[in-house]
Structure 1
C-alpha cells in the first residue's frame, strides 16, 4: 500500500524493499549526496535512491519523497 510521503520507515531494509517494490531504486536522487559509510567509513557519492558503497557493498536507500536530503538515507545491510 502506498502511504504517500507520510510513511515512517524504521529501517533501511524497509526503505530499500519499498523503493524496489515501487520501481524507484534505480531513479536518481535530486542531487547526489556525499555518504560516510557506516560499515567501512569510506566516503562515496550516492546518486540513486538505492546505492551501494563501492568499498564494502553496504546498501543505502532513500524514498522519493525524501530524496532531496541525505538526512533520510538509511543503511540496509551489506549486499542487501
Structure 2
C-alpha cells in the first residue's frame, strides 16, 4: 500500500497528507474529472490533488481510488 491506498478514503485531509508524504500530489491521474466545488465553481482536476481556482478548496484522491468521481474528497480551503 505504498501509494496511499490504505488511507481512510472518507477523510480528505488524510488523503492529501498521504499524497504529499508519498510525493504523489502533483502526479497526473489516468483521467481528469470535472469537479463541482462547494463555492459553485467548476474546474478540471487532472492530478491526485488539486485546488479550486476560485476559493482554494483542496480536493484529493488516492491512486487506487481514481476510477470514480465520488472517491474525490475535499480537504479544506488552502489545506
TM-score range, shorter chain: 0.7 to 0.9
Q: Which runs of 5+ in 1 are unaligned?
A: none
Q: Which residue of 1 aligns with 2:74?
A: 75
Q: Which residue of 1 aligns with 2:59?
A: 60
Moved over 6 A (4+): none
Question: What's the RMSD between the two structures over aligned residues?
Answer: 1.9
TM-score normalized with structure 1 length: 0.87
1:25 and 1:50 in contact (8 A); partners too: yes
Q: Which residue of 2 aligns with 1:48?
A: 47
SS of the residue 2:8 aligns to: coil
> How far apart, CA to CA, are the structure 1 residues paired with 2:3 and 2:48?
18
> How far apart, CA to CA, are the structure 2 residues paired with 1:46 and 1:3?
19
SS of the residue 2:40 aligns to: coil
The total of aligned residue pairs comes to 79
SS of the residue 2:59 aligns to: strand
Q: CA deviation at 1:2?
A: 4.4
TM-score normalized with structure 2 length: 0.88
2:33 and 2:69 in contact (8 A); partners too: yes
Q: Which runs of 5+ in 2 are unaligned?
A: none
